[in-house]
Amino acid sequence: MSRGLTRFRYLLGEAADNIKANRTTAVIALATTTFTMLGMGVFLLLYLNAQEALGSLKDEIKVIVYLRDATAPKEIAQLREELSRDPAVAAVEFVSREQALATFRAQFPSEERLLSGLGDNPFPASLVVQVGPAYRSSEQVGALVRKLKALAEADEVLYSQDWIENLAVAVRYLRLLGVGIGVVLAASMVTILANTIKLTLYARREEIEILKLIGATTGFIKTPFVLEGALLGGTGALCALFLLRTLFGLAESKLAVQGTFWGVGRGLAFLPDRVTVAFLLLGIMLGCLGSLVSLIQFRDARS
């Protein structure tokens, strides 16, 4: 165990020496890696917050059934009981005409003049139907709406599924765009790191030949270069996370939406801990991949 740890420290030290020997190239590679990972992080942050907003909206899917004026209180009570037994319905709330008028006056006090000439109370009574969690797809909500429209007591049925579905489509396009840009950025990062490691390999090619002559294994020779790529990739990802957190804080305060995500959900959120760890691991993995590419190219050039 102690011997293995000592060997790892030696190999890690060799990787650090490689970076110091090509300081200028390493700094350029680190800066490029940082901004590449930052681009990935921005799209990831946008996608996760948009997904959270969509989930919050779906939790609030409600269908409003405006009742005919001639509907008797007993019929309304029976209708509420009937709807409550429907598995697609999570809850049913009755809003009387008086409650609807009071809500309008509370929310739009400056618009009460619009009510003049419309009688004492132009608002109809309504039932607010909250859709159950397992019945929130477009097809299922549509089926529920058609059932509600067929009710004899229903005068009009309104629901907000259309714009929620539009948001879902936008989130899907954002995911596809993020994946496409992420692949391009990842390929660029691997290429830049591969070229950086390749310069180190050419600079130390004589030393590599000597190591081979004295019996060093291929793994012993290659590991420092793989660790060099891992160090550059991991450090770049860490710097990108720091910049992303700083930009996130600035954007959050600038938009002044700490309470909600444009009025929806629980608010803007930074990357969860598990995503942050995965982001760092991605940087390390891409760095290792860049090293492996350079080692393959170096071997092919030598053969």
The region, left, alpha or beta by phi > 0 then psi within -120 to 50, assigned to residue 251 is: alpha
**pTM attached to this predicted model:** 0.64
Say which residue the tokens 């000439």 belong to: 117
Taking residue 18's Cβ as centre, other Cβ atoms within 10 Å add up to 23
State yes or no: pLDDT of 93 exceeds 60.
yes
The pLDDT assigned to 243 comes to 94
Higher pLDDT, 18 or 237: 237
State how far the Cα of 224 lies from the Cα of 292, in Å rounded to an integer. Answer: 11
What average pLDDT does range 209-216 have in this prediction? 70
Specify the domain boundaries for CATH 3.30.70.3040 within the chain.
Answer: 62-159
Token reading at 233: 């990739």
**Structural contact between residues 290 and 197, judged by C-beta atoms closer than 8 angstroms:** yes
Q: What is the CATH number of domain 62-159?
A: 3.30.70.3040
Alpha carbon distance 144, 123 (integer Å): 24
**212 or 118, which is more confident:** 212
Per the listing, tokens 């319905």 go with: 89
Is the pLDDT assigned to residue 59 strictly greater than 60? yes
Per-residue pLDDT band for 274 (boundaries 50, 70, 90) equals very high
For residue 91, give the 3-state DSSP assignment: strand
Q: What are phi and psi of 129, to 5 degrees?
A: -100, 120
Higher pLDDT, 284 or 25: 284
Task: Decide if 153 contacts 79 (C-beta within 8 A).
Answer: yes
Percent of the chain at pLDDT exceeding 90: 7
pLDDT tens, position by position, 95-135: 888 888 888 777 777 766 666 655 677 788 898 888 887 77
